[in-house]
Structure 1
Amino acid sequence: MSTAHKRQKDPQAVRQLLLEVAADLCVEKGAAGLTLDAAAAAAGVSKGGLLHHFPSKADLLFGLLDDMIARMDAAIAEAMRADPEPHGRFTRAYVAVTFGTEAMAEDARWKAMTMPLLAEPALRARWRDWIALQAELHVGTDSSLDCELVRFALDGLWLASVLESHPMDPAQAERMKQRLFDLSRG
């Protein structure tokens, strides 16, 4: 007789496990290699259990992007709390999180999500919505031309990093980070 019915149910933990497994599969095999069967098997749940949380591969990718954005939001909020200077605070936090050591753990996931993010209109729309929300939330402190320029430059640096098109040693990365911080102060 199966013991599955005796297992303590924790839907939020199962959902998070599925997202972790999906992220790992995307890193290992790319988003094209992410399948519902592979995610369910790697998480040790039935395909029906996975489908309860994520009815399609697109929903799983949406969930993964939303989870990554939520993690980034939390790191940005923490960096903003530590910055006493209001002007450019969000922009500096965005720079700090992107260049920070804690970003390295998320780096492989963001790299794996790049192609789906570029290729899928619905994923792009989610990212665009996040960008628009940040612009709205921080219009009073981060709408200067210099802050916008910093965020565009940072996004370009991030894309170059993902594509591995412009190798950068740690000292150069630190100089760029400091220069972006300086620009964000206007």
Structure 2
Amino acid sequence: MSKAHHRKKHPEAVRRQLLEVAARLSLEKGPSSVTLDAVSQAAGVSKGGLLHHFPNKLSLLDGLFDDLTEKLDRAIGEKMRDDPEPKGRFTRAYVAVCFLPEGMADGEQWKVLTVALISEPHLRERWRQWVERHFAENVGTDSSLDAVLVRYAVDGLWLADLLGAPSMDAKTRAAMLERLLTLSRA
């Protein structure tokens, strides 16, 4: 009997490794470099092992999407639990997680996903559903025009950071953060 049958399996670790390798390949060489062959080879996982977790490239991107939005949900939920003021709570949590470049864990993977969102209609629809779900859950507290404006401003800054637009100095960024937080309470 081969050693493979005696070796301990760690499917979640393999899945995580495959997602990390796919993200790294996409960042280093572009989204077109993310092929099943390239990912399995770079991860040191057989193609059959990869196919066990992700039967095609879109399922790999879906896996990355699921992983990142689950982390985003957890981070936003934690910030919301720490905020005693109901009005604008979701918006302030969104600002806290997404406004500062270091606020969002897995920033490199988010870059990959953002590029994939632009090129994959299926993922754009999933993102739209994520946003709509959160808007619906927070309609009583975060549906003012000011709250919507704050979230769009944060999205714009996030995209500017992602694309490497000229960054603003720390003082301007801090002033913008304060203004957005004030608007979230309006």
TM-score by length of 1: 0.92
Amino acid of the structure 1 residue aligned with 2:125:
A
**2-structure distance, mates of 1:106, 1:18:** 15
**2-structure distance, mates of 1:68, 1:39:** 19
Higher mean displacement: 138-147 or 161-170: 161-170
Give CA-to-partner distance per residue, 1:93-119, whole Å, 9 cap, x none.
00100134341x422222222222112
The structure that is helix-richer by fraction is 1
Matched residue of 1:168: which SS? Answer: coil
Give CA-to-partner distance per residue, 1:120-165, whole Å, 9 cap, x none.
1101001001000000111111111110111111111111111222
Q: Mark the CA change 1:44 to 1:185 in structure 2 (over 3 Å): closer, same or farther.
A: same
Q: Which residue of 2 aligns with 1:72?
A: 72
**1:184 aligned onto 2:170:** no
Residue correspondence of structure 1 range 152-171 to structure 2 within 5 A: 152-171=152-171
Higher mean displacement: 106-115 or 140-149: 106-115
Q: Determine if contact 2:99/2:154 at 8 Å carries over to the other structure.
A: no
Q: Mark the CA change 1:108 to 1:170 in structure 2 (over 3 Å): closer, same or farther.
A: farther
Amino acid of the structure 2 residue aligned with 1:30:
G
Amino acid of the structure 2 residue aligned with 1:70:
E
The percentage of aligned residue pairs carrying the same residue is 57
Q: Determine if contact 1:31/1:113 at 8 Å carries over to the other structure.
A: no
Q: Say how many residue pairs are matched.
A: 185
**2-structure distance, mates of 1:75, 1:87:** 19
**1-structure distance, mates of 2:41, 2:103:** 29
**2-structure distance, mates of 1:172, 1:13:** 41
Q: Which residue of 2 aligns with 1:141?
A: 141
**1-structure distance, mates of 2:16, 2:111:** 20
**2-structure distance, mates of 1:171, 1:47:** 50
**1:151 aligned onto 2:151:** yes
TM-score by length of 2: 0.92
**1-structure distance, mates of 2:148, 2:114:** 22
Q: Which residue of 2 aligns with 1:5?
A: 5
Unmatched runs of 5 consecutive residues or more in structure 1:
none
- For the aligned residues, what is the CA RMSD? 1.6
Q: Which residue of 2 aligns with 1:27?
A: 27
**2-structure distance, mates of 1:168, 1:3:** 56
Q: Determine if contact 1:26/1:113 at 8 Å carries over to the other structure.
A: no
CA deviation after TM superposition for structure 1 residue 2, in Å: 4.2
Question: Which aligned runs of 4 or more in structure 1 are off by greater than 3 angstroms?
Answer: none
Q: Which residue of 1 aligns with 2:53?
A: 53
